[in-house]
Amino acid sequence: MPEGPSVRKFHHLVSPFVGQQVVRTGGSSKKLHPDGLQALWLQDTQVHGKKLFLRFDPDEEMGSSDNNPMPERPCRGAQGEGATSQKQASGHGCGTSDGAFRSVELVVSQGGDGPACLRGDTSAGGAERWLQFRFGLFGSVWVNEFSRAKKANKRGDWKDPVPRLVLHFGGGGFLAFYNCQMSWSSSPVVTPTCDILSEKFHRGQALEALGRAQPVCYTLLDQRYFSGLGNIIKNEALYRAGIHPLALGSLLSPSRLEALVDHVVEFSADWLQGKFQGKQQHTQIYQKEQCPAGHQVTKEALGPPGGFQRLTWWCPHCQPQLAPKGPEQSQVS
């Protein structure tokens, strides 16, 4: 799924529509019922890790709730964003048919009908105002245009992707959401201390998690400590820190763990900055056959026993495996 920098870009694209009324809807979603969003007002939007949240209210005057602060700026890269892009913002910079992500949207509210609950109960505690988006592998948000097929499918047809949700606003523009799961809730689930692009990201908490006796590549993908971190950031940060993906965190010195967290934050912020500047993402190890030093790269699916296995690229020369003799000695200045 798109990683933190991509979802931050989605948030940037959606934000200009805050304060506008939904006048027409569309999309292929069967569980969400897009027509239930008609006449609602988009009052707020927040981002956390890989999730995007939109708040809808039946009345224009309701405004944003004091209990739900506006989105933060990322720690780097949000300043000087410039004009909102009218083009695609996708997780991997390429399109796909909607069949690439077949998960059905889940409506987690007990009633199952977010807008109906919202209209029936406008009290702050009871209404399900927030629509949560979780994007699939090629999930994307388009502004004032639709995604077009970039290549033929397996049948040889040039079939355009079908958006899951389309929102037309009173101001004349529209948003199209592709390859995403959607669910209603009474409030967004936001924990800035674990969001790698938040100014409130808690380094101490992240370092404590990394220091456990398990492979660091498992811990990096744990959204409880590194929300927004995905497979690309994992591979790139480990290579830049010179750490083998299966190295046990308990065997790494505090300085090595500090360096790993630094690379996670720096690569993520640079990636986001590049998105706002329209620059192509540059990776050193992810999906490469050779590392920048010219060494052969190893690729293998790694993950916790019984858990999800993710393709991992690393250089055995630049990222040697530690012998299980004991923790590294801390560097003495």
pLDDT in tens, 161-206: 899 999 999 999 999 999 999 999 998 888 899 999 999 999 999 9
- Long-range contacts made by residues 113-121, C-beta under 8 angstroms, separation at least 24? 113/33, 113/36, 114/32, 114/36, 114/184, 115/33, 115/36, 115/37, 115/40, 115/56, 116/36, 117/184, 118/40, 118/56, 118/57, 118/58, 119/58
Residue 235 has pLDDT above 90, yes or no: yes
pLDDT in tens, 274-320: 999 988 889 999 999 999 999 999 999 999 998 899 999 999 999 99
CA-based torsion, 283, 192, 183, 218: positive or negative: positive
How many residues does the structure list for the chain? 333
Question: Bridge-partner residues for 232, per DSSP?
Answer: none
Q: Percent of the chain at pLDDT above 70? A: 77
Q: Where do the structural domains in the chain lie, given as residue ranges?
A: 4-185, 192-314
CATH T-level topology, domain 4-185: N-terminal domain of MutM-like DNA repair proteins (3.20.190)
Concerning whether 2 is annotated as a catalytic residue, the answer is yes
Query: Could you say which of 258, 299, 310, 327 is catalytic?
Result: 310
pLDDT for residue 212: 96
Q: Which residue has the higher pLDDT, 137 or 266?
A: 266
pLDDT for residue 100: 34
pLDDT for residue 158: 82
pLDDT in tens, 260-287: 999 999 999 999 999 999 888 899 999 9
**Averaged confidence pLDDT in the chain:** 82
Per DSSP, 227 falls in state B
CATH of domain 192-314: 1.10.8.50
Query: Could you say which of 3, 72, 128, 236 is catalytic?
Result: 3
Are the C-beta atoms of 95 and 290 separated by less than 8 Å? no
Query: Could you say which of 8, 50, 134, 240 is catalytic?
Result: 50
Concerning whether 3 is annotated as a catalytic residue, the answer is yes
- At residue 311, φ and ψ (nearest 5 deg) are -60, 130
Query: Could you say which of 2, 74, 161, 188 is catalytic?
Result: 2
Lowest-pLDDT range, 50-54, 80-84, 283-287? 80-84
- At residue 284, φ and ψ (nearest 5 deg) are -100, -30
pLDDT for residue 155: 78
> DSSP letters along 23-71, please?
EEEE-S-SSS-GGGGTT-EEEEEEEETTEEEEEEESSGGG---TTSPPP
pLDDT for residue 76: 41
pLDDT (mean) for 70-99: 38
Concerning whether 310 is annotated as a catalytic residue, the answer is yes
Are the C-beta atoms of 68 and 188 separated by less than 8 Å? yes
Concerning whether 208 is annotated as a catalytic residue, the answer is no
